[in-house]
Amino acid sequence: MKKSVLRAYARLIAESGVNVQKGQEVFITAGLDQPEFVAMVVEECYRRKAKKVVVDWNYQPLTRLHVRHQSLTTMSTLDNYEEARWQHYVDTIPCRIYLESDDPDGLRGVNQEKMAKAQQKKYPIIKGYRDQIENKYQWCIAAVPGVKWAKKLFPELRASQAVEKLWEAILHTSRVDDDPVAAWDAHNKDLKARCDYLNGLGIRELQYRASNGTDLRVGMIPEAQFCGGGETSLQGIFFNPNIPTEECFISPKRGVAEGIVYSSKPLSYQGQLIDRFWIRFREGKAAEWGAEENEALLTKLITMDEGSAYLGECALVPFNSPINETGILFYNTLFDENACCHLALGMGFADTIRDFEHKTLDECRALGVNDSMIHEDFMIGTADLSIDALCEDGRTVPLFRNGTWAF
C-alpha cells in the first residue's frame, strides 16, 4: 500500500477520529501487525501538538500464555500501577485510539470462564474510574490488517496479497480517498440529517420483523435521541469514535423488549466466533437463547453481570451499506456492525439522552439507560428486514423496508 495513502489514513485518525488537542495526551492500543503505521499515527498526533503519545502493544499469544499460567487470583487483581493509570486517565482526560488487527480465532480454546471471572472481579474497581471519565474524552476505534485476520478473510491468497486486499477494504470503507477529512465531514452531515428526521417522529417503540423469524419490539426512552457519526465530548470537542461508521443509534429503555431476534452474521467475541444464534427477550431481559456455534460463550456473555442480559443499543444501518457491498464478512464487529442493523447487549450510552451534559450519569441511568461491564454488538440486519416506528401520536411510520431506509 502506498505510504501517501497510509499517511492520509493516519492523519484522518488523529484529526477527524480523536481530534487531538494541543497539549493533550494520547494513549494508543495496537497489535504488532503494522508497527510502521502505528508510528505514522503517533507522528500525526505530535503534529497536532500532543503533549505525549503512549503506545500499549498487545499480542494474542501472550494473552493465551497469561490465561494458562496465571492463577485466577492473579488475573483478578488490579495492581497498583494499573489503578494509578486509571487515576491518570481521570486526572488528564487523554485521547484513546484503538487499532484493531486481531485474529478472529486467536483465543480459540482459551479458558473463557477464567477470563470472564477475572473481568468480573476487576470491574467494580475499574467502574469507579470509568464513570468519572464517561463522555469526557475523545476516542476512536479503527483497524489495520493482521496477517491471520487477512488470511481468515482471503484464504486463497498468499499472506502478503491477503494483507494488501484487507488494506484496500479497510481504506475504502473508511472513506480514505483524495480528501478523507472532507469526505467524513459530508458523511457526518448525511447521518445527522437522518437522525434529525428520526428524532422528530416521537418514537415510542421499534418493531423488527424478518423472514428468518425475527419478531421483536423494543421500547424507547422518551428523553433519548438517535445519534450518528461524530460526537461532542463534555469538554466540547468533536470527534468520530468509529472509523468506519454507517449507523444511526439510540439507547433503548431497559426492561422494555419483547420477542425473538436472530443473528445475521457471526459475532467475534474475545477471540472466538459465536454464530447462528438467537435470543428471546421477556420484560426487556434475555430469557432464552441458543447458538449453533459456541453457545457456551454466548451464555457467558449474556450472564456476565445483571445488565449484560439487557439491551444497550439499537442501531439502524442499511443492508446496502458500503461495507456490506464489499461482499466481505470481516469477522470484526467494527466493520460487521456497520454492514447492517445491529443490537447491543450491555451498557447503554448516556450521551443519547437529550441534554445529557446537564445530567449526572446516575440520572441518565434512572431514565432507563442500561448499565453493564460489557457492550457487545450483534448483527441482525437482513435483505428483507422491516422496521416500523410506533410513535407517541399513534402513527406507525416505516423506517426500513427490504433491509434499507424507507425514507
Q: What pLDDT score was predicted for residue 114?
A: 95
Q: Do 32 and 88 share a domain, yes or no?
A: yes
Q: Do 243 and 98 share a domain, yes or no?
A: no
- Per-residue pLDDT band at 270 (split at 50, 70, 90): confident
Q: Do 166 and 191 share a domain, yes or no?
A: no
Boundary (domain end) residue, out of 148, 173, 198: 173
DSSP character string of 289-343: EEEEE-HHHHHHHHTSSGGGGBEEEEEE--TT-HHHHTT---SSHHHHTTTS-EE
Q: Do 167 and 187 share a domain, yes or no?
A: no
Q: What pLDDT score was predicted for residue 266?
A: 94
Q: What pLDDT score was predicted for residue 271?
A: 84
Average pLDDT, the chain: 96
pLDDT at 280 over 90: yes
Chain segment 69-80, per-residue pLDDT in tens = 999 999 999 999
Q: What pLDDT score was predicted for residue 12?
A: 98
Q: What pLDDT score was predicted for residue 231?
A: 93
Q: Do 79 and 125 share a domain, yes or no?
A: yes
Q: Assess contact for 310 and 285: CB atoms under 8 A.
A: yes
| % of the chain exceeding 90 in pLDDT | 97
Chain segment 289-306, per-residue pLDDT in tens = 999 999 999 999 999 999
pTM for this model (two decimals): 0.90
Q: Do 232 and 327 share a domain, yes or no?
A: yes
DSSP count for the chain of H helices, then E strands: 13, 20
- Per-residue pLDDT band at 258 (split at 50, 70, 90): very high
Q: Assess contact for 231 and 247: CB atoms under 8 A.
A: no
pLDDT at 144 over 90: yes
Q: Which residue has the cell 493482521?
A: 146
| Number of domains the chain is built from | 2
Q: How many degrees, rounded to 5, is the angle at CA 211 between CA 322 and CA 200?
A: 60
Q: Do 240 and 337 share a domain, yes or no?
A: yes
Q: What is the mean pLDDT of residues 102-120?
A: 93
Spell out the residues 6+ positions from residue 355 whose beta carbon is closer than 8 angstroms to its own. none
Report the distance separating Cα 304 and Cα 371, nearest Å: 12
Q: How many degrees, rounded to 5, is the angle at CA 308 between CA 379 and CA 17?
A: 60
Q: Do 190 and 144 share a domain, yes or no?
A: no
- Per-residue pLDDT band at 27 (split at 50, 70, 90): very high
pLDDT at 284 over 90: yes
Q: Do 217 and 309 share a domain, yes or no?
A: yes
Q: Assess contact for 331 and 104: CB atoms under 8 A.
A: yes
Nearest CA among 104, 116, 63 for reference residue 300: 116
Q: Do 166 and 186 share a domain, yes or no?
A: no
Report the distance separating Cα 39 and Cα 370, nearest Å: 37
Boundary (domain end) residue, out of 173, 204, 230: 173
Q: What pLDDT score was predicted for residue 167?
A: 98
Report the distance separating Cα 46 and Cα 24, nearest Å: 10
Q: What pLDDT score was predicted for residue 190?
A: 95
Q: What pLDDT score was predicted for residue 178?
A: 84
Nearest CA among 229, 245, 227, 237 for reference residue 95: 237
Q: What pLDDT score was predicted for residue 23?
A: 98
Q: Do 151 and 268 share a domain, yes or no?
A: no
Structural domain that includes position 226:
180-405
Boundary (domain end) residue, out of 173, 203, 224: 173
* 272 phi and psi angles, rounded to 5 deg: -140, 160
Q: What pLDDT score was predicted for residue 196?
A: 97
Chain segment 202-224, per-residue pLDDT in tens = 999 999 999 999 999 999 999 99
The CATH number of the domain holding residue 19 is: 3.40.1830.10
Cis before 244? omega within 30: yes
Q: Do 13 and 124 share a domain, yes or no?
A: yes
pLDDT at 49 over 90: yes
pLDDT at 226 over 90: yes
